[in-house]
Structure 1
Amino acid sequence: MKGNKRGKMLLACMVTITVLAGCSSGKSADTGGGGAKEATEAKINATGYPIVNESITVSAFAGKFFANADWNNIRLWTDYEKKTNIHVKWDTVQTDTLKEKRNLLLAGNDYPEMFYASAFSRTDLLKYGKQGAFIPLNDLIDKYAPNFKAVMEKYPIIAKGITMPDGNIYGLPTIYDPEFKSVLYGTPWVKQEWLDKLGLKQPETLDDLYNMLKAFKENDPNGNGQKDEIAWGAVGTDGLLSYLRGSFGLNNHGTANINVDTDPTTGKVRFVPTDPHYKELLQFVNKLYKDGLLEQDIVSVKSTEVDSKGMQGLLGVSDSVDPVAIYNQKGYVGLPVLKGPHGDQSFNAYGSPLGNIGMFVLTDKAKHPEAMIRWMDYFYSDEGIKLFFMGWKDETYKEDANGNVDYTDEIKNNPNGLNLDQAIGQYLIWPGGYYPGFVKQQFFKGAEGLPTSVENAKKAEPYVLPQDQVWPAFNFTQDEQSELTTIKTDIDSYVMEMKDKFITGNESFDNWDKYVDALQKMGVDRYVAIYQSAAERYVKP
């Protein structure tokens, strides 16, 4: 789900109902191969169930995870077919071959009526939308998707984030409920028992963090007489950097566009990885690394190695989800948001509430697009969300008098030795995180929904960016995307490469100006200019 943690979350047209009514460049009313026909013409029911009175079959392609049973027989879809009268004939592939298979289908003009859980990029949505293979969904949403339309109206960032610069919506997203704080943000976890044993308070400043980690490394808090503690355990440095960005005044619009934010001095888009404060951030993390306070193979360590140490209780700090969920280690609490060297104290590792926006796509081969938008819209309603994540009362979940739900013992403690994902994956398809829909705290039972995770988020909340300051990942015009593609990959890769070299000391900070000069030669000014245009479209009323 991190994806994020995700993972948070105006264009040329006012993106609310105006967009749904079709304020694009003359094309949003042209809904491709099916259009938003009148319900009587399509022989569907505009409200209620079944969606169609006479059964229809729809071809669909989807990415899935190994935990899921055969989608053509899995109960979620067979029961939903009885409710809707829509039979979906599923062609599924594992996610590791998803991109290759879906691209082959499109290249060979052998694609289905619907792509589901296929994770199309923004670039592909616009590309195939412009070509006519993907139909605009604007009018269909307006007429047949009241649940999704209500979400767009309540949270403008959703509408803005899924609408292309041409004014059209070509895909429906995974949405993480903006009210579900612990799935959207949460600080790393520290082992409270070690703090207590060493007589330490939770850190408030960068110096406090350094001293705490140093004490974890040197003072044997697990009491076994060995210096086997890992002060900060993680796979890669991104989690640590994300935690500290706000303490250095960086990423003041969140991390959905990780390398850009607004320069507080000029009010223009700033390239974060060349800012002096970013250099200071890397220098601080380099100090932690040099003094042995981080996992020493942090830039290359395998997750299995960190997991092994975590399950042994050797991690002082973990930047993943609550260690009780992944390492069976209790007693971790959220780290405070730290005050930085210039007085900044903000938690900016806040992505967009939008996950992938290309998780549900209708193609120009769709015979009944109005029926299928209704089919999908159900899973943006509370009833549909509950079915999607929890299944069936007294079979896969129990519900108390207050409406609280939890999986049955057969799911949580499966008699056949299946873990939770495998057990629920025999009935439902959400394990693995690939799906369009709406993730709500009430019905999501992953690690981010644990009471400890909720408390961690509450602790960070006073320092989290206001929602109206958070940018979604930007959408670009075809011309912008074409130009950006030629420079972005190289620039982003170089930034990632040099980040780890500076942190590990394989590159001296004496060469910082050479690093900045190299980015200039790679076209970073044009990179920033394109993002500036996208930012201006986003804030335009």
Structure 2
Amino acid sequence: MKWKKGAQLLTTVLMVTGILAGCSGGSGNGQAEEKPGGESSGKSSVSATGFPIVQQPITLNFFAGQAASAPPDWNKVEIWKEYAAKTNVNVNWQLTPVDSLTEKRNLLLAGGDLPDAFHTARFTSVDLANYGAQGLLIPLNDLIDQYAPNFKALMEKHPEIKKGLTMPDGNIYSLPTFYDPDFKSVVIGSELWINKKFLSALGMKEPTTTEEFYQYLKAVKTGDPNGNGKNDEIPYAASGVGGLLDQLKGSWGLGNRGNTHPRVDMDPDTGKLRFIPADPKYKELLQYVNRLYKENLFIPEILTIKGNEVLAKGKDGLYGSFMYTNADTFGDHKDDYTGANALTGPGGERLFSRARSPLVDAGAFAITSSNKYPEATMRWADYFYSEEGSTMFFMGIKDKSYVVKPDGSVDYTDEYKADPEFGKKYVTWAGGYYPAMLTAKTFKGGESSPANLEAAKKIEPYYPEEVWPPFTYTQDEVARFTSLETDISAYVEEMTTKFVTGDAPFSEWDNYVATLKKMGLDEYMDIYNQAYERYKKE
């Protein structure tokens, strides 16, 4: 992991928020007081059910992370206009690019000039424990019980939601991104895709082992599968090697509790938590990926290329394999690919290690202590955990951006499908990390394509028996755990890259592990284990 300004600021933020906690306000009581123009201030009378949520219009300021693929100004997006008219709750969207999200979010929390809520803000469980304990984010338990019938029902149906959201102090400080567990293709997200046209041209079958995958990549590089007489094919393309490492961990028996905790799983030999990047099997995995790198089987700029650049290059049809949601952006070549299965490793192990918890993002929505309308805000957010609200959030406006078919299913309009920019007029979900419930019925994005559904079906038999959701941490644990995780993760990322590229020889492996120990790996794992023990008891 590269050092990021947000991570460097975290220690400062932790100190500053302690000072600010005593100064942060937010009443949440009092009667509605009408402003000129009909808008009210103070607490407005909130309807427990139905719409509008409040009788007199109110305005809320939401801070949100904006992905590059999302609309540039959410204040102009049709669903938010329609929802404001439906609810009498007007939202003033304050957007920041995801590249600077953590830094700007933490600066807001440190400075005390808080929005009413954070939406699509990517809070980790550590963030939630910290800012909740400091009083900057308010507990949502009672608000959920009284004003969130949809989310309350979802928690009752899926107990893992409550386990993943409840902090050690007993409070819930956020609403999550939650995917229907049965909708495996969307839970999986990005997948490894293989060029089936290249396979046919090379006379090869789809790889089922890591050795067959290596042989396929070599054949793509040297066998001219596109038949143009040039050595222009790219065996594997992605932005960075992290996705491939996560994909292949299971071929060495690593990642047996899924990828919500990408560096920690359960050691089957000891029954104790295992730090994956220090395990000898991880060294073997790095040696395998180092072989691919040394033999130039990756896109040359793999360590520096951005994701959008990978997609742009894919339109030329030169990729033998790549890691992404699907090939829908590849134009005439979008149907050239098939989803790869979990691969068997040299020791016979076969596991889909990139499995995620359906509780994809614990910290998608949080209400701050500055919010004068927490009840109305909770009702506003709860709608998107209903089928009706989920349909609106992901599909937009009926008969404008989507249609209802005779069988009751929904689908995007032809205009939406034909023009990628058209959807930005209606929805803001592109980029993920939103507070909403996603199901196969209400979501028709790329993961619902036949190719994605087929890929997920192939992978499902190799899913881990248990996939951990995020763990939670006490206030006493947060500062130390965050400091250790920041330093250890940065060092692991640095050395992983060096081992893959050959800048660090594998003869340095023991020194690498010893350095991790000196950096406090044992203490880090002790805190992790305490969080795991709490998870088991919930």
Range class of TM-score, shorter chain: 0.7 to 0.9
Q: Secondary structure at the match of 2:411?
A: strand
Query: Is the 1:36–1:143 contact (alpha carbons within 8 Å) kept by the matching residues of 2?
Result: no
Question: What 5-or-longer segments of structure 2 have no aligned partner?
Answer: 1-24, 32-42
Which of 496, 506, 512 matches 1:499?
Answer: 496
Equivalent position of 2:144 in the other structure: 141
Q: How does 1:417-428 map to 2 (within 5 A)?
A: 420=420, 422-428=421-427
**Equivalent position amino acid for 1:179 in 2:** D
Query: Is the 1:71–1:77 contact (alpha carbons within 8 Å) kept by the matching residues of 2?
Result: yes
Equivalent position of 2:278 in the other structure: 274
Deviation, 1:216, is 1.7
Q: How does 1:242-321 map to 2 (within 5 A)?
A: 242-303=246-307, 306-321=310-325
Deviation, 1:442, is 2.4
Deviation, 1:161, is 1.4
Q: Cα deviation per residue 1:121-155 (whole Å; 9 max; x = unaligned)?
A: 33332222222222100111112211111221222
> Structure 1 residues 328, 447: CA separation in 2 closer, same or farther (over 3 Å shift)?
farther
Query: Is the 1:253–1:262 contact (alpha carbons within 8 Å) kept by the matching residues of 2?
Result: yes
Equivalent position of 1:459 in the other structure: 458
Q: Which stretch shifts more, 296-305 or 165-174?
A: 296-305
Q: Secondary structure at the match of 2:274?
A: strand
> Structure 1 residues 110, 249: CA separation in 2 closer, same or farther (over 3 Å shift)?
same
Equivalent position of 1:34 in the other structure: 28
Identity of aligned residues (%): 50
**Equivalent position amino acid for 1:194 in 2:** F
Equivalent position of 2:198 in the other structure: 194
Deviation, 1:73, is 4.4
Deviation, 1:533, is 0.8
> Structure 1 residues 432, 239: CA separation in 2 closer, same or farther (over 3 Å shift)?
closer
CA distance in structure 2 between the partners assigned to 1:387 and 1:525 by the alignment: 47
1:441 equivalent in alignment to 2:440: yes
Deviation, 1:82, is 2.4
Equivalent position of 1:53 in the other structure: 55
CA distance in structure 1 between the partners assigned to 2:246 and 2:269 by the alignment: 22
**Equivalent position amino acid for 1:446 in 2:** G
Equivalent position of 1:401 in the other structure: 406
Q: Which stretch shifts more, 394-403 or 102-111?
A: 102-111
Q: How does 1:96-495 map to 2 (within 5 A)?
A: 96-185=99-188, 187-303=191-307, 306-326=310-330, 328-329=332-333, 330-414=335-419, 420=420, 422-466=421-465, 469-495=466-492
> Structure 1 residues 505, 149: CA separation in 2 closer, same or farther (over 3 Å shift)?
same
Deviation, 1:378, is 0.5
After superposing on structure 2, the runs of 4+ consecutive aligned residues of structure 1 that deviate more than 6 Å are none
Q: Cα deviation per residue 1:64-119 (whole Å; 9 max; x = unaligned)?
A: 45752644443322221222222334444444454444444433433233332333
Q: Cα deviation per residue 1:338-380 (whole Å; 9 max; x = unaligned)?
A: 2222221111111222233333222223333222211111011
Query: Is the 2:402–2:412 contact (alpha carbons within 8 Å) kept by the matching residues of 1?
Result: yes
Deviation, 1:54, is 3.4
Query: Is the 1:397–1:407 contact (alpha carbons within 8 Å) kept by the matching residues of 2?
Result: yes
CA distance in structure 2 between the partners assigned to 1:177 and 1:399 by the alignment: 21
Query: Is the 2:78–2:397 contact (alpha carbons within 8 Å) kept by the matching residues of 1?
Result: no
> Structure 1 residues 93, 486: CA separation in 2 closer, same or farther (over 3 Å shift)?
closer
CA distance in structure 2 between the partners assigned to 1:308 and 1:71 by the alignment: 26
CA distance in structure 2 between the partners assigned to 1:378 and 1:147 by the alignment: 7
Q: Secondary structure at the match of 2:488?
A: helix
> Structure 1 residues 374, 124: CA separation in 2 closer, same or farther (over 3 Å shift)?
same
Q: Secondary structure at the match of 2:175?
A: coil
> Structure 1 residues 401, 46: CA separation in 2 closer, same or farther (over 3 Å shift)?
same
Equivalent position of 1:63 in the other structure: 65
Query: Is the 1:214–1:293 contact (alpha carbons within 8 Å) kept by the matching residues of 2?
Result: yes
CA distance in structure 2 between the partners assigned to 1:89 and 1:216 by the alignment: 51
> Structure 1 residues 296, 80: CA separation in 2 closer, same or farther (over 3 Å shift)?
closer
Equivalent position of 1:8 in the other structure: none
CA distance in structure 2 between the partners assigned to 1:304 and 1:424 by the alignment: 18
**Equivalent position amino acid for 1:175 in 2:** F
Deviation, 1:252, is 0.8
Q: Secondary structure at the match of 1:231?
A: coil
Query: Is the 1:33–1:363 contact (alpha carbons within 8 Å) kept by the matching residues of 2?
Result: no
Q: Which stretch shifts more, 144-153 or 120-129?
A: 120-129
Query: Is the 1:289–1:296 contact (alpha carbons within 8 Å) kept by the matching residues of 2?
Result: no
> Structure 1 residues 96, 297: CA separation in 2 closer, same or farther (over 3 Å shift)?
closer
CA distance in structure 2 between the partners assigned to 1:209 and 1:341 by the alignment: 12
Query: Is the 1:120–1:357 contact (alpha carbons within 8 Å) kept by the matching residues of 2?
Result: yes
Q: Which stretch shifts more, 336-345 or 431-440?
A: 431-440
CA distance in structure 2 between the partners assigned to 1:89 and 1:323 by the alignment: 35
Q: Cα deviation per residue 1:143-179 (whole Å; 9 max; x = unaligned)?
A: 2211111221222222111121111111111222222
Root-mean-square deviation (CA), in Å?
A: 2.5
Q: Cα deviation per residue 1:233-277 (whole Å; 9 max; x = unaligned)?
A: 222111221121111000111111111111111111111111111
CA distance in structure 1 between the partners assigned to 2:413 and 2:103 by the alignment: 38
Query: Is the 1:114–1:360 contact (alpha carbons within 8 Å) kept by the matching residues of 2?
Result: yes
CA distance in structure 1 between the partners assigned to 2:530 and 2:26 by the alignment: 29
CA distance in structure 2 between the partners assigned to 1:96 and 1:290 by the alignment: 31
Equivalent position of 2:45 in the other structure: 43
1:87 equivalent in alignment to 2:80: no
**Equivalent position amino acid for 2:357 in 1:** S
Q: Secondary structure at the match of 2:298?
A: coil
Query: Is the 1:191–1:316 contact (alpha carbons within 8 Å) kept by the matching residues of 2?
Result: yes
Q: Cα deviation per residue 1:509-530 (whole Å; 9 max; x = unaligned)?
A: 1121111111111111111111
Equivalent position of 2:34 in the other structure: none
Q: Which stretch shifts more, 356-365 or 342-351?
A: 356-365
Equivalent position of 2:37 in the other structure: none
CA distance in structure 1 between the partners assigned to 2:221 and 2:75 by the alignment: 53
Equivalent position of 2:20 in the other structure: none
Give the number of equivalent residue pairs: 500
> Structure 1 residues 504, 301: CA separation in 2 closer, same or farther (over 3 Å shift)?
same
Deviation, 1:53, is 3.1
CA distance in structure 2 between the partners assigned to 1:356 and 1:44 by the alignment: 28
CA distance in structure 2 between the partners assigned to 1:73 and 1:203 by the alignment: 47
Query: Is the 1:32–1:134 contact (alpha carbons within 8 Å) kept by the matching residues of 2?
Result: no
> Structure 1 residues 255, 219: CA separation in 2 closer, same or farther (over 3 Å shift)?
same
Q: Which stretch shifts more, 138-147 or 366-375?
A: 366-375
**Equivalent position amino acid for 2:530 in 1:** S
Deviation, 1:308, is 4.5
Query: Is the 2:350–2:462 contact (alpha carbons within 8 Å) kept by the matching residues of 1?
Result: yes
CA distance in structure 2 between the partners assigned to 1:317 and 1:510 by the alignment: 31
Q: Which stretch shifts more, 347-356 or 384-393?
A: 347-356
